[in-house]
Structure 1
Amino acid sequence: MRHRSSASANRLPAPRKRFGQHFLTDTRVLDSIVEALGDLSGTTVVEIGPGRGALTDRLVARAARVVAIEVDRDLVQHLRARYADRPNVEIVEADVLTTTLADLAGGPYVLAGNVPYYITTPIIFHALELPRPERAVYLVQKEVAERMAAPPGDKTYGALSVNLQAVVNVEFLRKVLPGAFNPPPAVDSAVVRITPKAEAAIEPELEERYRSFVLAAFGLRRKQLVRVIRTVASLDAERALDVVTRCGLDPMARPETLTPVEFARLVRALYAAPSSR
């Protein structure tokens, strides 16, 4: 059900290219995103990029509270008019990357969003800051979704795959064609769901080190592991070989074959304080 408190809510702001706006209009995809979030009764939902409110309408009908973050001032005005009679809806005018999502939620929350493709990765990692959402469902470029969920050894497996899968489970839920949007993007999209792992591969205090190490390692993805360690950690050949063998890894392995857990062993061996190893 749509809620409009004034004529201004009926005027739909045009998509803005500078914000990477492609408004999702396919009702089946919109419904699938809500379903992927699970039971929303008693739940706070934080929505990234509500746009004109197509997904927001569905969230408002099911959730106890909705906090929608929108950077486009015209859309903010439209949304505030649209939900003026809904006290459980808060429209926040802000760049999502400058907000603290958990603070906006004020407690446990789930996250949803049609993420602008030009800043997809920064937004996803921003949402991994602790405390994390209980679930997150994103609409992203299909290529990015495939990299997020790729297993070790897959041609799309890389730093994004490892850094996400170290702390969350990633599920590729469905492909979304360009015609589901207004205006249609030039690429296929996909819906993905992220849920925190019961036991992360890496400790919170080492996450920043882990991400930096993984990024550096995949910058040398065709190099053997000993060479990677020598370069990234500035070690001589003997010490690099010792680190690799102590971690139970093949010195000739390449980064694209290592699991998130194996990367974690290397990071602990290189950077963890003795008491935390």
Structure 2
Amino acid sequence: MEKTIIAKKKFGQNFLKDKTVLSKIIQSMPNNNNHIVEIGPGLGDLTENLVKYKDTTAYEVDTDLIAVLKSKFAIDIENERFKLIHTDVLEAWEEKGSLHKSSYDLIANLPYYIATNIILRAFEDINCENIIVMIQREVAQKFAAKVNDKEYSSLSIITQLVSKEARILFDVPPESFDPPPKVVSSILFISKKKDVELDKGFLKFLKVCFSQPRKKLFKNLTALYNKEALSNIYNELNIKETLRPHEVDVSLYSQLYTKVKDGKQQS
């Protein structure tokens, strides 16, 4: 008798079952020769569609699911169309630096609780070229937001720096999953620029900028930088001190960071 697999909360599991959604994800795949990497294949419903088109590597942490996937994809594993790796994907990144030895596209239904970390790690992986992931809609909006959008955040700025394109393809209702999550999901598409390295100092700077999103950016920055020096920089760059974090574009953030970094005006 076949063992029933119950979704585990600790792994943030919600198994995607909607065939229409699965088909739309496949249709959105870039037309290239890249390998596919999937994170958290679950019961293999998306995987089944992916391996029809391209060689696929999947990372799965759940031992129970590994057994199911090995059985389901025994022929694909034997033919080397499918490689299944039993590990925590963040640990794999830490150990290897990349999830594949050559160019790949990340296509996955990500667990909500680590989705942001996974996408940020994919930004740093030079072999990852395109990202098509299902995540919580509110988080997807932050990655895809533009200046003056209420969802615009440090994630939006980082995404604009590393990507040629970032947009939400479509939303996915809770009933498309088993068990259904309590939130609406979205398919996020990001096409990365080549050879972009993120300055760790700039990432820390952005964290300060958006520490209190509803307050003025100037006020947030005074927690770390000298007020008088900041005023001078604002005047030099012709920035209004009344602006809030979501009202400043990527270019201006870059200029502002360069000035405070070069002047080292920490209070």
Shorter-normalised TM range = 0.7 to 0.9
Q: How does 1:7-156 map to 2 (within 5 A)?
A: 11=3, 13-39=5-31, 42-63=33-54, 65-86=55-76, 87-100=80-93, 103-156=98-151
2:260 counterpart residue number? 270
Give the superposition deviation at 1:211: 1.6
Question: SS of 1:231's equivalent?
Answer: coil
Q: Is this contact kept in 1: 2:98–2:125, CA < 8 A?
A: no
Give the superposition deviation at 1:229: 3.0
Q: Is this contact kept in 2: 1:166–1:261, CA < 8 A?
A: no
Q: Is this contact kept in 2: 1:140–1:191, CA < 8 A?
A: yes
2:201 counterpart residue number? 209
- Give distance in 1, aligned partners of 2:123 and 2:30: 19
Identity %: 31
Give the superposition deviation at 1:84: 2.1
Note if 1:220 corresponds to 2:215: no
Measured at CA, do residues 67 and 118 of structure 1 come closer, stay the same or move farther in structure 2, by a change above 3 Å? same
- Give distance in 1, aligned partners of 2:260 and 2:99: 36
For each residue in 1:84-114, what CA deviation from the matched residue of structure 2 results, as whole angstroms up to 9, or x when unmatched? 2221211111111112276331111000111
TM-score for the superposition, normalised by structure 1: 0.85
Measured at CA, do residues 267 and 161 of structure 1 come closer, stay the same or move farther in structure 2, by a change above 3 Å? same
1:251 counterpart residue number? 241
- Give distance in 2, aligned partners of 1:139 and 1:258: 28
Q: Is this contact kept in 1: 2:140–2:168, CA < 8 A?
A: yes
Give the superposition deviation at 1:197: 3.7
- Give distance in 2, aligned partners of 1:90 and 1:198: 26
Question: SS of 1:241's equivalent?
Answer: helix
Give the superposition deviation at 1:12: 5.3
1:241 counterpart residue number? 231
Q: 1:182 is matched with which residue: 174, 178, 182?
A: 178
For each residue in 1:222-242, what CA deviation from the matched residue of structure 2 results, as whole angstroms up to 9, or x when unmatched? 33343333323x32x221122
Matched AA of 1:38: P
For each residue in 1:211-254, what CA deviation from the matched residue of structure 2 results, as whole angstroms up to 9, or x when unmatched? 2111211113333343333323x32x221122223334223322
TM-score for the superposition, normalised by structure 2: 0.88
Q: Is this contact kept in 2: 1:44–1:66, CA < 8 A?
A: yes
Give the superposition deviation at 1:272: 5.7
| Residues matched between the structures, number | 258
Give the superposition deviation at 1:263: 1.2
Matched AA of 1:15: A
Question: SS of 1:172's equivalent?
Answer: strand
Give the superposition deviation at 1:138: 0.6
Matched AA of 2:135: V
**Which stretches in structure 1 are left out of the alignment for 5+ residues?**
1-6
Measured at CA, do residues 32 and 272 of structure 1 come closer, stay the same or move farther in structure 2, by a change above 3 Å? farther
Q: Is this contact kept in 2: 1:225–1:244, CA < 8 A?
A: no
